Structure formats: C-alpha cells, structure tokens
Structure 1
Amino acid sequence: MPKVVANYPVSGLFGVVKPSGPTSMSVVHDLQQLIARSKLFVTADKLEEIKNRKPNNKRRGKQAREAIKVGQGGTLDPLADGVLVIGVGKGTKKLSDFLNCTKEYETTCLLGCDTDTYDSEGSKVQMAPWHHVTPELIKATLSQFTGEINQTPPIFSALKMDGKPLYEYARKGIPLPRPIEPRKVTVHSLELVEWKGNNHSYQWPEKSLSEDDKKAMEVTLKSLDQSVEIKDRPEIPSDDESPPAFVLRMRVSGGTYVRSIVHDLSRAIGSAGHVVTLSRTRQGRFVSTPTEEGDKACVPWEIFEKASATNGDEVDAEGWTEWEREVMERLEVVEERGSK
C-alpha cells in the first residue's frame, strides 16, 4: 500500500532525476507550479486563496513563490542529468548540507578535441592526437587524479574574481589580476568502466573559437602560465573513423569539477578531451539506484511532466495525485506543519 503522510502540510526533502537539457532552476520552477497547488505542502487556507484568484499566467510564478518556498541543493549543468535534491518549505534550510556532501558521477569523455567549457556545450579550442590512447594507459593515469588533489576551476566558469566571472576575462583576453586559487578536493574513487573506442555516435562540437577568440583566451591563460600555447596538434580521422570515447565513474567530495578531471586526464595521457555525457548518480543519501543502507531513491522526472500536462488534476479515491504519491514514497519529512 503506498505510503501516506499522516499529518500535512509538511516541509521536506526529496530527490528528482533531472533530465539532460533543462537548467536546474527551470526544473525547480516547474516543480513549484505543482507544489504550490498541493495539500501535501500548502495549507488549506492558502490553497483556497490561490484557487479563488483569477487565472493570470504572468502572476502564476509569483503565486507559486508566495505559496511555498522551493529550492535545490546543488546545480546541475543543462547537459547533465541525474540526482537533484529538492527542498520544500523549511526543507530549503537543509539544502546547504548537500553542497559539500559526497557525490557520484558517470561521465563520457570524447578524445581528440578540447573545448572552452570542457564539455560539448562549448566551442572547439584545439585538436590533439588520440591513436596512442588505450584503456591500459587511462587506467595507469587515474591514480594521478585519485585521493586529495588540488584542482583549478575551469577558466570558463562562473566563479568570480574581483566581481567579474572568470569567463569574462577569457572571452575579452583580459589577464587575470592573480592566479585562480586551486581548491582541495577529494576523489574517493575513480575508475574506467567502459572503453567505447569508436563505437559511438558522439561528435565534436560544430562551433569553434575564432582565431581572435583563441588569442584572447591565450592572453588570459598566459597570465597564469607563460608556457600555455593554444595550438592544434591534429590527428585527422579517416572517413569511417571516429575519435574514441570512454566512460568514467567517480565518487568525489563537494566542489569537485568533473569537467576538469576529464580535461586534465585527457591532457595527462597526451591528448585532449571533453565531456559529452554527465550523470550524477548520488548526492549524499539521495541516489538514482539505492545500493547502500540509508539510500533514498529519487522520483523520475516523467512523473512530474505527466502531472504538468494534466495540471495535476487526476486524483485517486483518497484525493492524492500520482506525483504526490510518488513523492510521499520518497519524502524525507523535515517538519509536519498541520493535520488533516
């Protein structure tokens, strides 16, 4: 029998399996539209007030924010899919716990080309050879990126220096006022789980930095390391050949840049590479597939998509929608704020 929360509305935490494509904030926004009309999270008087308001699409988002506070515990890039922890009501105060928690990822690296963003959403920067790369070479190099390491955030990141995002310096060719401060992170485990070789459909990005953009980026990078040179070392594939790809699985501390591990590892094996898929399979105790005691499963995004398409109006004999039932099955209650 599906679990039912005895006293509601409640504040709490639950995990969502975010799809690749939308931003984390758009996922939160879509969830908020459903949550703001749910007796599971919103008091009866507030629900009645919202129900009696005249429909107004421009005010819909504001009404949802007024009804209940919803947030997420660690942004995923649009490219990435996987576990996104959602906090509702007083549950949002617990979200900071998930910024520095242990996380697990699976990521696919495509060799032969690096990009400005270190992933397939960016533009090609330079090419490099790959024919010498083997699974054995990758495995032998992984130890360099395991344990406590100093990791320098990507130059194309939103981290700020003197109030300006790093990517602005790189795009405009402005020397950094000081080196990017490396951060200590812990890579608890790092393993090669699949060597795809050229048996895949991934391709390098069509976009490429212009020569002027490359020169600007090089100016910024040389302010950190004078030996940096943006120059192609191409290994052109034959018509029926694709550059190889491989899949890594890692368990890391909060603050670790998966894109940087892929980028730096690719350089360490004498090539270049970037992320083409990224899945977060664990964020603290919330996981895509429970494997350990205390793991909490997440709600598939399709459940919420279906609810949004029907305005969440289809309810069972006890007055609960499908998405509310799914959330209750996985909900970590922080506070019960009322009773039936």
Structure 2
Amino acid sequence: MPKAPSSLPVSALFGVIKPSGPTSMSLINDIKVLVGKSRLFVEAEKLKQQENSKNSKKRGKRKDKFAGPVKIGQGGTLDPLADGVLVVGIGKGTKKLQEFLDCVKEYKTTCILGCETDSYDSEGAQVRIAPWRHVTREKVEEALQQFRGEIMQAPPIFSALKMDGKPYYEYARSGIPLPRPIEKRKATVHSLEVFDWLGSDHGFRYPEKKFSAEQQQALQQTLQSVEQDAVVKDEPEEEAGEAPPTAFVLRMRVGGGTYVRSIVHDLGHALGSAAHVVTLQRSRQKNFTLEPAEERDRACVPWEVFEKALKEPGEPDEDGWLEWEREVMDKYEIVE
C-alpha cells in the first residue's frame, strides 16, 4: 500500500493511460472533478468552504462540476484516436509540464498501405488510393533508413496551422495556391523499426468517407502551386483481391514536435504507395511509461480507475483514502 505524504496538500505529476476515443481535455476535466474534492490536493479549509457553499446555495451542475481551487494541466495532448501515456500536472506540477512537450517520447503505430487520408489517420477521409502489393517488409525496413536521425518534416496540408492568416486546410479544400511552400520543421528520430508485420492478417479497413474528383482536383491545384509534379488521383491495384491491404506496426523514439502521422504518410510515398495511421499509442513520455523498466520509470494510472471513481467513489479505507487516491499516490511524483 502506498505511503501517504507527510504534509498535505501536495502538488504532483502523474501519468494516466488514456483510452482511444475521448479527447485528452475531456479526461482532464473529469479528473479535475475528483482532484477538486480531494484532501490530497486541496487544503482542508478550502474543502470546508466548498462544502459550506454547497449547503448554503444550490449551483448549476456545470458550474459546480468545473469549479475548484486546484490548477490542473496536461503535458502534451493525444488525438482522440490515440491511446497511452497522458501526463497530468496538479498545482505546482503544472509548471513542469513544458518539460514533457520537449522530451523524448516513444510510440507504437499501426500503418495500413494503399490509402492516403486528409488527416493522415483513419479518422479522416480517403484522399487517394495507390498500389500496395509490391511492398515487402524488406522494402519498408530499407525505406525507414531515410527517416532516422535529424529529419525535416512538413506539417500535414490539412492541419489548422496558418499561412498568411489562413489555415492550411482552407487552401487545400478550395484549391487556392499556397503563397509559398509549407515550411519544414526539424525533427529528431532516435530510433525507428518495424515492430510487427501484420500482412493481411488484421481487421483494419479504409475510411468509408472519400474525396470526390472535384476535391482531389482542388487539392492537386494547391499542391502544384509549390510542387509542379504533384498528382492527386486514385491508382487502384491492377489485380483485384479479397485480402485486406498490408498493415504493419512501427515502434519509434522521437524528440518533441515530431509528427508521427507525417512519418507514416511520407513513408507511404517513399514506398511508391500510400499509407495512413490506424492505431497510435504513446508508450513513454520522459519517465512515465506503460512498461517501467528502470528505477526512474513511473507507471501510469489506468483511466478505468478514475472512471470508476466518478461513477461510484466507494468507501474510504482506514486512513480515509479512496481507491483512486491510493492509485495516484502509488504512481505520482511530488513537486515541491
């Protein structure tokens, strides 16, 4: 059983195992509900004031839910599709969160060949399809060499980043020429390897939503304003078959600011095909990890622990701690 801190309340950092589906911010808001009522993180006097305020005046549900005296934040959001390590900072811990944006992170991502999407993952729409049967594991491993070390990456054309005040995606959807090429950013890929070769033995499929011929033409016009030979059109396999397109899992260690989805997208091009992400897991962020292997490593709290506490907090133990509080104390890092 984790030992309770000698002085309360505390500021801390801890990792949560985010599931695929919800947004990172929705999880943070839910955790805030629990943290704001816990003596582990809130001064006893403030907890008493909250209780007195509840008894003296009824509040609206939303106002009460998100009111609270504790600062909370996260050290690098994960897309709804992604799962894995989400670092949470409480109190003074929020001042340490910047360290987790710039640190080394580890990911596992499942890639499927033959289809490019606007979001570079399975949440988006099909932009184009391309041949994939010619791609072997050996070709993938050879192509990965160009993505290791210091590389230059262009953000996705359909991202919300802006050029001259207009989001990239507005140019792409409207066929408006880009004023200039998208500026590439330096990224560091410490390691990159094929972790598992799934072949056609999987249940992944392309997104049902597809770009129309008009949308493909608009995107091509935008890309050709900076890349004259850019072509956006479907190139289906000559041989039709029932087997699903090849999929494989990549494992990588990267520096801050690296676009994992861009690596997969660009790899598809390097292979003479197309590719997008169907699963994405952050397995490590600095010292918070799904699989602790070193003394400095810290395990993460499963989201189900907080989900259960939100529905039914349960009874405190003999020392007055709830189950979710014990789980956090077992895995957090106190910030003085």
TM-score when normalising by structure 1: 0.94
The C-alpha deviation readout for 1:180-202, integer Å capped at 9, x for no partner, is: 11111110000001110100000
Asked whether 1:318 is paired with 2:319, we answer: yes
Partner of 1:196: 198
> In 1, Cα distance between the equivalents of 2:143 and 2:294?
29
Partner of 1:153: 155
Partner of 2:130: 128
Structure 1 counterpart SS, 2:156: coil
For structure 2, the 5+ residue unaligned runs are none
**Moved >6 Å (runs of 4+):** none
> In 1, Cα distance between the equivalents of 2:201 and 2:34?
41
> In 1, Cα distance between the equivalents of 2:162 and 2:122?
23
Give the deviation of 1:237 after TM superposition.
6.7
Q: Could you say if the C-alpha distance between residues 35 and 163 of structure 1 is closer, same or farther in structure 2, counting changes exceeding 3 Å?
A: farther
Structure 2 counterpart SS, 1:16: strand
Q: Which moved more, 1:209-218 or 1:110-119?
A: 209-218
The C-alpha deviation readout for 1:270-311, integer Å capped at 9, x for no partner, is: 11110000000011111111123311111111101110111x
For structure 1, the 5+ residue unaligned runs are 336-340
Give the deviation of 1:217 after TM superposition.
1.8
Give the deviation of 1:6 after TM superposition.
1.6
Structure 1 counterpart SS, 2:51: helix
Q: Could you say if the C-alpha distance between residues 212 and 314 of structure 1 is closer, same or farther in structure 2, counting changes exceeding 3 Å?
A: farther
Structure 2 counterpart SS, 1:296: coil
Partner of 1:104: 106
Partner of 1:334: 335
Where in structure 2 are the equivalents of 1:253-264 lying within 5 Å?
253-264=255-266
> In 2, Cα distance between the equivalents of 1:236 and 1:105?
34
Give the deviation of 1:174 after TM superposition.
2.3
Asked whether 1:7 is paired with 2:7, we answer: yes
Q: Could you say if the C-alpha distance between residues 31 and 269 of structure 1 is closer, same or farther in structure 2, counting changes exceeding 3 Å?
A: same
Q: Which moved more, 1:54-63 or 1:282-291?
A: 54-63
> In 2, Cα distance between the equivalents of 1:274 and 1:168?
21
What is the aligned residue count? 332
Contact 2:216 2:233 in 1 (8 A): no
Q: Could you say if the C-alpha distance between residues 7 and 261 of structure 1 is closer, same or farther in structure 2, counting changes exceeding 3 Å?
A: same
Structure 1 counterpart SS, 2:97: helix
From 76, 79, 95, the counterpart of 1:77: 79
Tell me which amino acid in the other structure corresponds to 1:320.
W
The C-alpha deviation readout for 1:229-271, integer Å capped at 9, x for no partner, is: 1011111674531111000000000000000100111111111
Where in structure 2 are the equivalents of 1:154-233 lying within 5 Å?
154-233=156-235
Where in structure 2 are the equivalents of 1:295-314 lying within 5 Å?
295-310=297-312, 312-314=313-315
Where in structure 2 are the equivalents of 1:82-97 lying within 5 Å?
82-97=84-99
The C-alpha deviation readout for 1:214-237, integer Å capped at 9, x for no partner, is: 222222222221111101111167
Partner of 2:121: 119
> In 2, Cα distance between the equivalents of 1:42 and 1:238?
62
Q: CA RMSD in A?
A: 1.4
Residue identity (%): 61
Contact 2:190 2:255 in 1 (8 A): yes
From 39, 61, 73, the counterpart of 1:57: 61
Q: Which moved more, 1:318-327 or 1:177-186?
A: 177-186
Partner of 1:338: none
Contact 2:314 2:323 in 1 (8 A): no
> In 1, Cα distance between the equivalents of 2:269 and 2:297?
36
> In 2, Cα distance between the equivalents of 1:88 and 1:213?
45
Tell me which amino acid in the other structure corresponds to 1:329.
D
Contact 1:50 1:63 in 2 (8 A): no
> In 1, Cα distance between the equivalents of 2:103 and 2:195?
23
Asked whether 1:37 is paired with 2:41, we answer: no
Give the deviation of 1:58 after TM superposition.
2.4
> In 2, Cα distance between the equivalents of 1:17 and 1:105?
13
Tell me which amino acid in the other structure corresponds to 1:59.
K
Partner of 1:21: 21
Q: Which moved more, 1:227-236 or 1:180-189?
A: 227-236
